[in-house]
């Protein structure tokens, strides 16, 4: 697989990124795929590991070495089949996954990882381009229905899988379009929303129903949904913001990052003529011409910088509480093959703005109720638990707009969770004990709502696994000879098979008696 010794001859060539100075002027996807020739060379770097850590590093268990090899050999269709066998939405993960597979790539021990994510996206886009991705509705319906609350990646995945099994699925989404944070949090420069729409259209064609603008618990009661469906899946994500509890927090001009990103994404949608809600008058968050300070150096923080740059902020700074990382991006706590806790740089800072490391916010001050300064100090330490302030290191940064991007603490409890009376775990997530079954019979949870904030790829994996449990609890399906299990080799172990005998005469020509014959003709009553 791959090319023998290919990794020694070929260097990594990642996504083809647009010039930062040019791309900051629009909202189009900021990166593209290398030409096919290069992609195949990149596939050849895969070393055909005896133990492919990438495959384990991927929460979905994508068969990475297998499709790297197929791409290397130009077998795109086979690659697409193999890829879709484990991943419902490779066009999402190929764009916005932080690629724990690449962190786990064996080449990454002492070299640059195979550009796995790019190969994945290439396969996905090739499949769409070639028309290989078509609706595949189930040929039979079980008569069971399932309601899915939330249309983020977990909700979409659970819906897609249950629909494949023949259950009738309705997805309830409180916002005006599907995708959850993928739609409203992630900038179009990373994930054009057409990509989500393209996939959702396929799901609809396969029979999944979507109801938008339905806030479960408000517009429709949980009781009603339980009445309506044989099973209910809670996939509402983890949307309660973490906050900085320091002096001056009440000043205006200090917002949660997600509120800003929602507005920006809706702004782009409106510009492109897609339905979108406009912000409540007076609640607009604008970065144009402002000194923007973002607290938190994760993906959300970077997305804020990206938008601020595009809006024309006068200056953008990230205050990152953690130490500067070395070139590998690793610290002792996350040796290979674990994914590094943090990323070294991101696309946004290439376009403008700076990150100040080891900077902990201690307060805000302002004038006229508006924030003008962020107060901070230097700290040392590598994790949130062992941060130690450096005496005398206090400083202040001028700010007109402060965006808090330090993550989410858990799912919103008001609404569905409370109405269903779901048990929670100590961190405030829905408790399910590995089975995706919540404390309420017939109600399941998956994704960030169950595990806390995580990655898109984890959410998809959650949705897929949850669907298996739901399907099982619904009594299974005639289509349970389950293509995914077959594809990845997760062969059913000891479950009782009902002996299914199908007389599939078509395409099957039986052997005649003359075949099982010998001297004197066939033996009567044999076989």
**In the complex, minimum distance from the CB of residue 50 to another protein, in angstroms, rounded to a whole number:** 3
Residues 74-113 that bind another protein (CB under 8 A): 74-75, 78, 81-82, 85, 104, 106-107, 109-111
**In the complex, minimum distance from the CB of residue 523 to another protein, in angstroms, rounded to a whole number:** 6
By CB under 8 A, residue 7 contacts another protein: yes
> Secondary structure of 277-333 in the HEC alphabet?
CCCCCCCCCCCCCCEEEEECCCHHHHHHHHHHHHHCCCEEEEECCCCCCCCCCCCCC
Instruction: Provide the token pair at 199.
Output: 């996939």
Whose CA is closest to 288, among 265, 325, 315? 315
By CB under 8 A, residue 491 contacts another protein: yes
Hey, is 126 helix, strand or coil?
helix
Residues 372-411 that bind another protein (CB under 8 A): none
Number of residues counted as binding another protein (CB under 8 A): 73
**In the complex, minimum distance from the CB of residue 77 to another protein, in angstroms, rounded to a whole number:** 9
**In the complex, minimum distance from the CB of residue 100 to another protein, in angstroms, rounded to a whole number:** 12
Residues 175-204 that bind another protein (CB under 8 A): none
Q: Which stretch binds another protein (CB under 8 A): 176-184, 383-391, 431-439, 510-518?
A: 510-518
**Of the candidates 282, 391, 475, 512, which one interacts with another protein according to CB under 8 A?**
512
**In the complex, minimum distance from the CB of residue 488 to another protein, in angstroms, rounded to a whole number:** 5
Residue closer to another protein by CB (options 55, 167) is: 55
Binding mask 284-323 for another protein (x = CB under 8 A): ----------------------------------------
Residue closer to another protein by CB (options 1, 285) is: 1
By CB under 8 A, residue 10 contacts another protein: no
Q: How far is it, in rounded angstroms, from Cα 303 to Cα 343?
A: 13
Whose CA is closest to 249, among 364, 148, 146, 327? 364
Q: How far is it, in rounded angstroms, from Cα 253 to Cα 300?
A: 18
**In the complex, minimum distance from the CB of residue 329 to another protein, in angstroms, rounded to a whole number:** 17
Residue closer to another protein by CB (options 137, 275) is: 137
**In the complex, minimum distance from the CB of residue 448 to another protein, in angstroms, rounded to a whole number:** 23
Residues 423-482 that bind another protein (CB under 8 A): 479, 481
Cα pseudo-dihedral 251, 254, 256, 258, rounded to 10: 140
Q: What are phi and psi of 187, to 5 degrees?
A: -65, 155
By CB under 8 A, residue 519 contacts another protein: yes
416 to each of 52, 224, 226, 440, how far by Cα in Å?
40, 12, 11, 12
CB contact at 8 A, 265 and 372:
no
Residues 33-72 that bind another protein (CB under 8 A): 47-53, 55-57, 61, 63, 65-66
Q: Which stretch binds another protein (CB under 8 A): 123-131, 179-187, 333-341, 374-382?
A: 333-341
**In the complex, minimum distance from the CB of residue 492 to another protein, in angstroms, rounded to a whole number:** 7
Residues 334-353 that bind another protein (CB under 8 A): 335-338
**In the complex, minimum distance from the CB of residue 358 to another protein, in angstroms, rounded to a whole number:** 21
Number of CB atoms found within 10 A of residue 516's CB: 11
By CB under 8 A, residue 515 contacts another protein: yes
By CB under 8 A, residue 260 contacts another protein: no
**Helices 193-206 & 153-164, crossing angle to 10 degrees?**
20
Residue closer to another protein by CB (options 73, 378) is: 73
Hey, is 359 helix, strand or coil?
strand
Q: How far is it, in rounded angstroms, from Cα 219 to Cα 222?
A: 10
Count how many residues are written for the chain.
527
290 to each of 262, 264, 311, 440, how far by Cα in Å?
19, 16, 10, 48
**Of the candidates 37, 245, 280, 502, which one interacts with another protein according to CB under 8 A?**
502
Kindly give the pairing relationship between strand 291-295 and strand 315-319: parallel
By CB under 8 A, residue 131 contacts another protein: no
Instruction: Provide the token pair at 319.
Output: 């205050």
By CB under 8 A, residue 489 contacts another protein: yes
Instruction: Provide the token pair at 291.
Output: 């000194």
Ordered strands of the 209-212 beta sheet? 209-212, 168-173, 145-149, 231-234, 443-445
Residue closer to another protein by CB (options 345, 517) is: 517
Q: How far is it, in rounded angstroms, from Cα 99 to Cα 450?
A: 22
**Of the candidates 8, 134, 390, 398, which one interacts with another protein according to CB under 8 A?**
8
By CB under 8 A, residue 508 contacts another protein: yes
By CB under 8 A, residue 520 contacts another protein: yes
The b/e string for 104-132 (b: 16+ C-beta within 10 A; e otherwise) is bbbbbeeeebbbbbbbbbbbbbbbbeeee
Residue closer to another protein by CB (options 367, 525) is: 525
């Amino acid at each position: 697989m791959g090319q023998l010794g290919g990794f020694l001859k070929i260097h990594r060539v990642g996504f083809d990124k647009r010039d930062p100075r040019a791309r900051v002027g629009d909202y189009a996807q900021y990166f593209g795929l290398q030409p096919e020739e290069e992609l195949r060379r990149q596939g050849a770097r895969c070393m055909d590991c005896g133990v492919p850590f990438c495959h384990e590093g991927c929460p979905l268990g994508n068969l990475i070495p297998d499709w790297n090899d197929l791409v290397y050999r130009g077998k795109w269709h086979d690659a697409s089949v193999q890829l879709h066998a484990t991943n419902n939405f490779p066009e999402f993960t190929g764009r916005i996954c932080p690629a724990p597979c690449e962190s786990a790539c064996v080449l990454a021990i002492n070299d640059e990882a195979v550009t796995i994510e790019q190969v994945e996206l290439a396969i996905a886009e090739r499949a769409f381009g070639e028309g290989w991705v078509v609706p595949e509705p189930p040929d039979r319906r079980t008569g069971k229905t399932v309601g899915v609350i939330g249309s983020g990646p977990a909700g979409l995945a659970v819906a897609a899988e249950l629909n494949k099994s023949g259950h009738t699925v309705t997805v309830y989404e409180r916002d005006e379009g599907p995708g959850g944070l993928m739609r409203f949090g992630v900038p179009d420069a990373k994930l054009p929303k057409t990509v989500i729409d393209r996939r959702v259209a396929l799901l609809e064609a396969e029979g999944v129903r979507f109801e938008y603008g339905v806030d479960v618990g408000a517009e429709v009661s949980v009781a009603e949904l339980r009445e309506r469906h044989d099973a209910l899946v809670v996939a509402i994500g983890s949307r309660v913001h973490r906050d900085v509890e320091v002096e001056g927090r009440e000043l205006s001009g200090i917002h949660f990052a997600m509120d800003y990103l929602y507005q920006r994404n809706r702004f782009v949608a409106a510009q492109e003529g897609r339905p979108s809600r406009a912000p409540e008058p007076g609640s607009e968050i604008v970065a144009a011409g402002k000194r923007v300070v973002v607290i938190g150096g994760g993906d959300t923080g970077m997305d804020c910088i990206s938008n601020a740059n595009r809006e024309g902020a006068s200056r953008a700074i990230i205050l990152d509480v953690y130490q500067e990382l070395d070139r590998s991006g690793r610290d002792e706590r996350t040796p290979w093959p674990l994914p590094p806790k943090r990323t070294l740089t991101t696309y946004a800072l290439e376009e403008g703005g700076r990150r100040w490391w080891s900077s902990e916010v201690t307060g805000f001050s302002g004038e006229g109720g508006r924030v003008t300064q962020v107060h901070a100090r230097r700290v040392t330490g590598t994790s949130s638990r062992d941060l130690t302030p450096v005496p005398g290191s206090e400083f202040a940064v001028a700010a007109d707009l402060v965006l808090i991007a330090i993550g989410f603490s858990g799912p919103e409890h008001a609404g569905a969770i409370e109405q269903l009376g779901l048990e929670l775990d100590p961190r405030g997530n829905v408790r399910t004990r590995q089975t995706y079954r919540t404390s309420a019979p017939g109600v399941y949870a998956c994704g960030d709502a169950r595990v806390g904030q995580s990655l898109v790829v984890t959410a998809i994996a959650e949705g897929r696994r949850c669907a298996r449990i739901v399907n099982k609890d619904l009594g299974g399906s005639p289509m349970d000879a389950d293509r995914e299990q077959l594809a990845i080799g997760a062969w059913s172990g000891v479950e009782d098979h009902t002996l299914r005998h199908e007389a599939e005469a078509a395409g099957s020509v039986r052997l005649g008696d003359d075949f099982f014959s010998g001297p004197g003709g066939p033996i009567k009553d044999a076989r």
